[in-house]
Amino acid sequence: MDALAQVACPACGTGNRIAPGRDHAAAKCGQCGARLIAGAPIDVDDAAFAKHLQHTKGLVVLDIWAPWCGPCRMMAPHFAEAAQRFADKAVFLKMNADQCQTPSRLGVRGIPAIFLLEDGKVIAQQAGLMTSDRLAQWIQSARRSP
């Protein structure tokens, strides 16, 4: 799996390129100076999600959840662990389904709903609770699928 080449800043949304071979953990936003790769899920609303899709070249993993959803709450630590495991390979985003319009635009019918996007396009989606290991397998198998 390739390293991220460009990401949206989690703080200001500005697109930032990351040079090949550069330490992703040390990369900072050229606009606001925030760390670009946190190794943790980033909470987004509709506007922030759009900026991530616009500016991220590579993988984005989106978890659509709700605070009242038991399986969503159970999956949260697994999603965080996967975000740490894939820190330089994918951007992990969390979106509260009760506060955003994106889930309806994506056709979400049940949560948790996980979307894998590459260069702004949905390449796979999955509904239901997944462990961090199962999430990692799903991401890797979706990347290998034609």
Residue 144: is its pLDDT beyond 70?
no
**How buried is residue 144: exposed, middle or buried, by Cβ count under 10 Å (0-12/13-18/19+)?**
exposed
**β-pair type (15-17, 6-8):** antiparallel
Residue 87: is its pLDDT beyond 90?
no
pLDDT for the residue numbered 31: 92
Q: Is residue 74 part of a domain?
A: yes
Residues 36-72 as b or e (16 or more Cβ within 10 Å = b): bbbeebbebeeebbebbbebbebbbbbbbbeeebeeb
The CATH number assigned to the domain holding 123 equals 3.40.30.10
Residue 32 among the catalytic residues = no
Residue 105: is its pLDDT beyond 90?
yes
Catalytic residue among 9, 12, 32, 72: 72
The whole-number average pLDDT for the span 92-101 is 96
Q: Is residue 23 part of a domain?
A: no
Q: Is residue 32 part of a domain?
A: no
Q: Which of 13-27, 62-76, 82-96, 128-142 has the lowest mean pLDDT?
A: 13-27
The structural domain count of the chain equals 1
Q: Is residue 64 part of a domain?
A: yes
Q: Is residue 112 part of a domain?
A: yes
Q: Is residue 47 part of a domain?
A: yes
**How buried is residue 73: exposed, middle or buried, by Cβ count under 10 Å (0-12/13-18/19+)?**
middle
Range of the domain at 120: 39-144
Q: Is residue 130 part of a domain?
A: yes
Locate 68 and state its tokens.
């009242």
Task: Classify the C-alpha dihedral 122-91-1-75 as positive or negative.
Answer: negative
pLDDT for the residue numbered 82: 95
Residue 146: is its pLDDT beyond 60?
no
**How buried is residue 95: exposed, middle or buried, by Cβ count under 10 Å (0-12/13-18/19+)?**
buried
Residue 29 among the catalytic residues = no
pLDDT for the residue numbered 103: 95
23-80 tens-digit pLDDT: 878 889 999 999 988 789 999 999 999 999 999 988 999 999 999 999 999 999 999 9
Catalytic residue among 9, 32, 69, 100: 69
Q: Specify the pTM.
A: 0.92
Residue 121's pLDDT band, with cuts at 50, 70 and 90, is: very high
